[in-house]
Amino acid sequence: MQAAHYVGGAFLPNDPATTTFPLVDPVDGSTVGQVPEAARETVDAAVRAAREALDGAWGATSPEERSAALHRIADEIQARFDAFVDAEVSDTGKPRELAATVDIPRAIGNFRAYADLLYGRPEQSYSTSVPGWSGSGQALNYTVRRPLGVVAVISPWNLPLLLLTWKVAPALAAGNTVVAKPSEETPSTATLLAEAIDAAGLPAGAFNLVHGHGTNAAGAFLTSHPDVDAIAFTGESATGSAIMREAANHLTPVSFELGGKNAAVIFADADLEAAVEGTVRSAFTHSGQICLCTERVYVERSRYEEFVSLLGARARELTDYGPMISAAHRDKVLSYYRLAVEEGATVVAGGKAPHFGDRRDEGFYVEPTVLTGLPQHARTVQEEVFGPVCHIAPFDTEEEAVRLANDSRYGLAATVWTRDLSRAHRVAPRIDAGIVWVNCWNLRDLRTPFGGVKDSGIGREGGTYSLDFFSEPVNVCIQV
């Protein structure tokens, strides 16, 4: 898959003068392609094309027309399903089954969900007799929604298509135009998405795509652009802070889904086998490279030793896992493995780079790792690693469990494992997190709010929450 910019309804040619950077296969470290780096002029052209479409053909569409367009995009992704899976696996190195059963189906579902949510969405109206500056009288108030305008969408490398479409679909549904910049590590499915949108027949400029890096490059050119009306970003908390500083210059609205250091709380009455298997999933799916993954596990003391033994055994059994996204990220994760030992951790499982005896030894793999023995203030317990690692610690009381779970600057997600329904209802709302799963993990209804507190983000995405962010309510008051 050859990555390319898509601006104003056309793919820009990658001529020899275009600055490029290598696309690396994380499985074996080989270079598999070249990605064009968008110059400021390319970003300017994309924003200008988006503005023209907003003022023109796309801005004139009705909700029903936009709903039909989103369904056509979903159809086009479905028609290219295998190509999307191939591109996702090539860019990320994740297991093919994961891409084929989660990433691509969810991208299709994102467009269909927002197409259906948009159609016939109700708004408020009030008929009342109220005093006003122009005198008392009967008034009819009703609300209409208008798009924010040109939206910049910045998406990460861990779930490239899923998280890109999670923002693009509601932005388009609400009538905005989009300029998207995927991670420089994972450009391929974004380029395929541009092909699908082009085939779906959206007006030129409704969706635009630019590739490149973030700092002093395409990402910064886009988020600091004076003609961008809103920014939707998923990625690291530090990057979110930098974008927010730029957005403040123009008072640009932002929606951020940022980092996490997610906790699992496992009570003594939990189904321990289910809790172990659930934690295997929540800690090691996609090699821990999901913002929702569990990195801190707190187990009631009477079951602590048993849980540690079972989870460690399961971690050592894992073989079908993917690499870190890059050599730099692999080195970061391994540095935390070393730091944990320096801080006094016991390595129950993993703790190093694996040896396969094949081409994967040239790739960016680290072992699924289980740690114990660290104090709560240890850096490995407090800082986001974003790899296949979790630290397990005991607790004695419900109050202590909540306190430990909340002792983090992050607050994205958490899991609670207990058979006591009353306890579940008591504990879940007290945990500082945007979403708390009870006896499960990553069970998602696309209509529910998703987002974090503290350093894990600003705002909520999902269902009407996304449509609310991507549109501006206007109250119309008529004296009758």
According to DSSP, the residues that pair with 265 across neighbouring strands are: 298, 416
CA distance 181 to 5: 10
Task: Please give the torsion angle defined by the CA atoms of residues 194, 195, 199 and 203, in that order, rounded to the nearest 10 degrees.
Answer: 30
CA distance 88 to 218: 22
DSSP 450: B
Q: Which of 76, 88, 291, 390 is catalytic?
A: 291
363 within 8 A of 93, measured Cβ to Cβ: yes
393 within 8 A of 374, measured Cβ to Cβ: yes
Question: Any residues with CB less than 8 A from the CB of 425 and at least 6 apart, and which?
Answer: none
Q: Where are the beta strands (DSSP E) in 258-319?
A: 262-266, 294-300
Exposure of 262 in the CB half-sphere (CA atoms within 13 A)? 34
Q: Verify whether residue 257 is a known catalytic residue.
A: yes
- Burial (Cβ within 10 Å: 0-12, 13-18, ≥19) of residue 233: buried
Amino acid at 286: H
Q: Verify whether residue 236 is a known catalytic residue.
A: no
CA distance 423 to 402: 12
Q: Which of 37, 52, 257, 384 is catalytic?
A: 257
- Alpha-carbon 434 to chain mean position: 13
Question: Any residues with CB less than 8 A from the CB of 101 and at least 6 apart, and which?
Answer: none
376 within 8 A of 407, measured Cβ to Cβ: yes
- Which active-site residues does the annotation give? 257, 291
